[in-house]
Amino acid sequence: AQTVTQSQPEMSVQEAETVTLSCTYDTSESDYYLFWYKQPPSRQMILVIRQEAYKQQNATENRFSVNFQKAAKSFSLKISDSQLGDAAMYFCAYRSARGFGNEKLTFGTGTRLTIIP
Amino acid sequence: DGGITQSPKYLFRKEGQNVTLSCEQNLNHDAMYWYRQDPGQGLRLIYYSQIVNDFQKGDIAEGYSVSREKKESFPLTVTSAQKNPTAFYLCAVGSGTIYEQYFGPGTRLTVT
C-alpha cells in the first residue's frame, strides 16, 4: 500500500518570503500522480498543483512550484512571495495511475502554514 | 450555480441514531467519493462510486453505508454501528479522464 508522509506539522514564513513544504511517499508503482491541496480555515479542499510521475519537468502554477524527485520519492511544494491568503493546512496526496478502480487519493497528515505579517 | 454541494454544513445527532449526509454535483463527473477527516490526520476514504448503482468500500467503511441511484447524488449514512462518528466529512468528484478530485465544502458531524 502507498503511504504519504509530511514530516512538518507546522511551518511559518514571513509575508513576501519563500517557504518549502516537504512530502515523501512510498510506492512500488512507476506511474502515478501527486497533488498538493490547500485547506484554509473554511475547510474547503482546494487543489493547488499536480504532477504526473512520467513528466520530468516540475509543475508550476503562478507562485506555487514543486520539486519532484522520483528516485528519492520526494515531492516538495515551494510557495514564493508568500501572502496572507496562503495561510492554511497543506496536504500532499498520491494517486495511482493504474486506472479504473485505483483512483483513491492517499493523503499525508498535513502541514499547517502560518504567514507572519 | 455549479459545483458540489454538501448539506448541511453542521449536523448534530444523538448517539444511536443513524444520520444521512448529502452530496450533490452538477459537474457531470462519473466518480464520487466520501472521505473522513479527523484532527491531526489526513483524509481517509470511506466509500467511492464510479458509476450509478455501483460502489466500493474504501479504507474505513465499517459503520457507514452509501447509495448511488443517480449520477448527481451520493448520500452517505453514518449508522449507529460507527464507533466514533464525530468528524468532518468531505465529498469529492472525479473521473477517469482527469487525475485530480474536486471537493465539496464538507459537513461537520457531531454525535453526543
Cα distance between residue B49 and residue B34, in whole Å:
9
pLDDT tens, residue by residue, A101-114: 667 899 999 999 99
Q: Is A112 on the interface with B (CB under 8 A)?
A: no
Find how far residue A112's CA is from the centre of its chain: 12
pLDDT tens, residue by residue, A62-87: 999 999 999 999 999 999 999 999 99
| Residues whose CB falls within 8 Å of the CB of residue B56, separated by 6 or more in sequence, listed in order | A101, B47, B48, B49, B50
Which chain B residue's Cα is nearest to A90?
Answer: B42
- Hey, what's the cell of B51? 458509476
Cα distance between residue A22 and residue A24, in whole Å:
7
Q: Does the distance separating the beta carbons of B100 and A33 come in below 8 Å?
A: yes
Interface test with chain B among A91, A105, A112, by most B beta carbons within 10 Å: A105
- Hey, what's the cell of A19? 517557504
Whether B82 contacts B62, CB under 8 Å: yes
| Confidence band, pLDDT 50/70/90 cuts, at residue B100 | confident
- pLDDT of A53: 93
Chain A residues touching residue B59 (CB < 8 angstroms)? 104
Distances (CA, A) of A25 to A1, A94, B39, B94, B110: 11, 8, 21, 22, 32
Cα distance between residue B26 and residue B91, in whole Å:
13
Q: Is A23 on the interface with B (CB under 8 A)?
A: no
The nearest CA of chain B is from the CA of A53 a distance in Å of 12
Of A35, A43, A108, the CB nearest to B100: A35
pLDDT tens, residue by residue, A6-61: 999 999 999 999 999 999 999 999 999 999 999 999 999 999 999 999 998 999 99
Whether B45 contacts A103, CB under 8 Å: no
Q: Does the distance separating the beta carbons of A33 and B58 come in below 8 Å?
A: no
In the sheet that holds B76-78, the strands lie side by side as: B4-7, B19-25, B76-78, B64-66
Q: Does the distance separating the beta carbons of B102 and A47 come in below 8 Å?
A: yes
Distances (CA, A) of B103 to A30, A32, A92: 27, 20, 15
Q: Is A102 on the interface with B (CB under 8 A)?
A: no
Residues β-bridged to residue B107: B89
Which chain B residue's Cα is nearest to A48?
Answer: B100
| Residues whose CB falls within 8 Å of the CB of residue B84, separated by 6 or more in sequence, listed in order | none
